[in-house]
Amino acid sequence: MDFINNSILLAGVEIGTHYYWDIAGFAIHGQVFIVSWVVIGLLLTAAFLGANDPKRIPESWQNFMEATVEFTQDIARNQLGESSYRTWLPFVSTMFLFIFGCNWAGAIIPWKLILLPEGELAAPTNDINTTVALALLTSLTYFYAGFRKKGLGYFKRYLEPTPILLPINILEDFTKPLSLSFRLFGNVLADELTISVLVLLVPLFIPLPIMALGIFAGSVQALIFSTLAAAYIHEALE
């Protein structure tokens, strides 16, 4: 009987069910936009509080924002070098903060208490459409970086070190966004499914360490994504 009850509870963990918005004939995952707007709002609020009335000796929010900028600045500097990192720091920082905010929002905020007609609110990064969009944006950015610096000469990289490697070099540019998007999506989705199942089976104490591990893993995934994005930009510039 317990096995049957647990099976019924596990059947309530839905995968691939979304709350759709129909906008101009396009079906949009509404729950992704809702949580994304919340995360963006929180980031903008923190940025406003940190940049409003700056002081020579930082306090509270200003201190927090300066520490955040220094952390993302180290990511960009380590990958891009002293001469180039300032140009691409806004992109690398935005990627890190958005993914970090989405992952933490999914792990900390009890979205499941808010009921939707379909689907449920969760981290935007557990939707493959979000991670693919972030990966494609990264690809466009490093293409733009290489093309801006080298012009049409940027495409000579596909013929190096020998024209025989042309198919492999082209394939590499397709595998980069695939690996970025599926790595982030798979880790976030697996973490949320694990927590959901454990909460249904053991509602109180057991899920807490897993949630803490999920918060840590979400932070690491944001770091990995932004670091790889900066590394790809550096590769295009070189």
| Domain segments of the chain as ranges | 1-236
pLDDT digits (tens, 9 = 90+) for 98-138: 999 988 888 787 777 777 777 777 888 888 888 999 999 99
Nearest of 34, 26, 201 to residue 115 by alpha carbon: 34
The conformational region for residue 185 under phi > 0 = left, psi -120 to 50 = alpha, else beta, is: alpha
116, 234 in Cβ contact below 8 A?
A: no
Alpha carbon 59 to its chain's center: 29
Q: How many angstroms separate the CA atoms of 112 and 100, rounded? A: 20
Which pLDDT band holds residue 61 (cuts at 50, 70, 90)? confident
- What single letter denotes the amino acid at residue 89? L
H or E stretch at 159: none
pLDDT of residue 113: 72
Label residue 156 exposed, middle or buried (CB < 10 Å: 0-12, 13-18, 19+): exposed
Mean pLDDT of the chain: 80
**Per-residue pLDDT tens digits for 2-40:** 433 443 333 344 556 777 788 887 778 778 888 899 999
Assign 238 a pLDDT band (cuts: 50, 70, 90).
Answer: confident
Amino acid at 196: S
Phi, psi of 29 (to 5 degrees): -75, 100
Among residues 66, 40, 43, the alpha carbon closest in space to that of 55 is found at 66
Position 158 scores a pLDDT of 73
Q: Is the peptide bond before 209 cis (omega within 30 degrees of 0)?
A: no
Average pLDDT score over residue span 42-63: 82
Q: What is the DSSP string of 195-217?
A: HHHHHHHS-SSTHHHHHHHHHHH
pLDDT tens digits along 190-227: 777 777 677 677 666 656 677 777 788 888 889 999 99
Confidence (pLDDT) at 19: 75
Structure confidence at residue 3 (pLDDT): 37
